[in-house]
Amino acid sequence: MFEALTARPPDSILALVQMYRDDPRQTKVDLGVGVYKDATGLTPIMRAVKTAEKQLWDVQDTKVYTGLAGDPAFSDAMINLVLGTAVARDAVASVATPGGTGAVRQAFELVQMARPDARVFVSDPTWPNHLSILGYLNVDVVNYRYFDEETRGVDFDGMIADLKTAKSGDVVLLHGCCHNPTGANLNLTQWQAVIDVLLETGAVPMIDIAYQGFGDGLDEDAAATRLVASSVPECLIAASCSKNFGIYRERTGVLMVVSQSTQARKLHQDTLAFLNRQNFSFPPDHGARLVTMILTDDALRADWMAELEEVRGNMLDLRSQLAAELQRLSGSDRFGFLAQHRGMFSRLGTTQDKVIEMREKHAIYMVGDSRMNIAGLNAQTVPILAQAIIDAGV
């Protein structure tokens, strides 16, 4: 039977990783893989995570399964982190998932169960795995305009015009903060306009928030998600702990269903648990337990927040350094958008040919659509990247 299988298209980012590894040049710069790196090129384990793991080692006396939804204390901690007091706790159903990707997958499956003919509106561009999962599930996808290649900001008028074509029962996928792959974000006034369109059309928002704390701060980055959740009849939220806790390999995420009808919470909770059972039974617990310990212990939480602020500040500094160096080399402020973007990524808005030229001539490795991981830079590589951008005529 397996001879009928056909080869899958290669993953462009994984292929880029291998090309980088095979490149012998000492000046090569990896801006492809979406993980945070410090100035030494290491993705460190955060201090609070280390401390929590040591504490857990001492007190944990079983590895028995948690419930289908995971540890309720983890859900409570994450709902508090993401939503604060924006909605009542009894308005939220939630389950732990294997990473933010698992939450996204479960959300799309929930949409299929509830409304098989639903269309999912996604930003152009969006995280490639959004499209990959939707395609695998045979969900109808509609692109809405988002990134303006000229200004390297948001094409907000185009976005609103496209979202107005959504219908009741459709889903609009939104990035809660630090838009991946562009780094260009909506302001709160624009978010309110999006909410007005959602209320007008009856479309349901789904928010993917994977970088809370990487943009303008924990509460600031959650502000849009909280505004949406408190303003619409129902919404989906997929949240990841990979980046802001640095626990990528622990696969820790959560899916929330928020409804103004609190009577619907039990049905939502039971359905989410059912989906977990069909896909992987019980979610992984180690990362979730560490997150719970950090968020519910004053000392651990304070240390985590302080280190997360260091991470955020480092990325903002790198953005400012790169924008300043490009202004010096080009004599113009056309790269000022890099300092305005937020999160790990920015999109240069250039052609694949120029991306290839930067790779071949300067050993700069970024994704073909010109998405680059700002956290892959350091003070020594910023000038290398800036010169490559200028030489390529970006």
In a domain, 272, yes or no: yes
Residues 324, 196 within the same domain: no
Examine the domain organization and report whether 161 and 287 are in the same domain: yes
Q: Which tens digit of pLDDT belongs to each residue from 239-286?
A: 999 999 999 999 999 999 999 998 899 999 999 999 999 999 999 999
- The total number of structural domains in the chain stands at 2
Q: How far apart are CA 363 and CA 20, in angstroms?
A: 8
- Same domain flag for 147 and 278: yes
pLDDT tens profile 151-207? 999 999 999 999 999 999 999 999 999 999 999 999 999 999 999 999 999 999 999
Alpha helices, DSSP H only, in the chain?
12-22, 47-59, 72-83, 99-114, 128-136, 156-163, 188-201, 218-229, 265-279, 286-296, 298-330, 337-340, 352-362, 382-391
Q: Which CATH number is 374's domain given?
A: 3.90.1150.10
Q: Which residues, 6+ apart, have CB-to-CB distance to 158 below 8 Å?
A: 144, 145, 146, 148
What local confidence, expressed as pLDDT, does residue 308 receive?
98
Predicted structure pTM score? 0.96
Q: Judge whether residue 8 has pLDDT over 90.
A: no
- Same domain for 201 and 319? no
Count the neighbouring beta carbons within 10 Å of the beta carbon of residue 236: 24
Domain C-terminal end among 269, 296, 323: 296
- Judgement on whether residues 310 and 241 belong to the same structural domain of the protein: no
Mean pLDDT (whole number) for 364-393: 95
User: What is the structure's pLDDT at 11?
Assistant: 78
Q: How confident is the model at residue 41 (pLDDT cuts 50, 70, 90)?
A: confident
Note whether residue 54 is domain-resident.
no
Q: Which residues are catalytic?
A: 127, 208, 210, 243
Q: Mark whether 238 and 276 lie in a shared domain.
A: yes
Domain containing 351 equals 10-45+301-391
Beta bridge partners of 262: none
Checking if the pLDDT of 47 tops 80, the result is: yes
- pLDDT score at 14: 81
- CATH assignment at residue 153: 3.40.640.10
Residues 289 and 310 placed together within one structural domain of the fold: no
Q: What is the Cα–Cα distance from 122 to 173, expressed in whole angstroms?
A: 5
Within-domain flag for 57: no
Q: Please check whether residue 59 lies inside any domain of the structure.
A: no
Give residue 72's pLDDT. Answer: 97
Tens digits of residue pLDDT in 14-38: 888 899 999 999 999 999 988 999 8
Average pLDDT over residues 347-365: 95
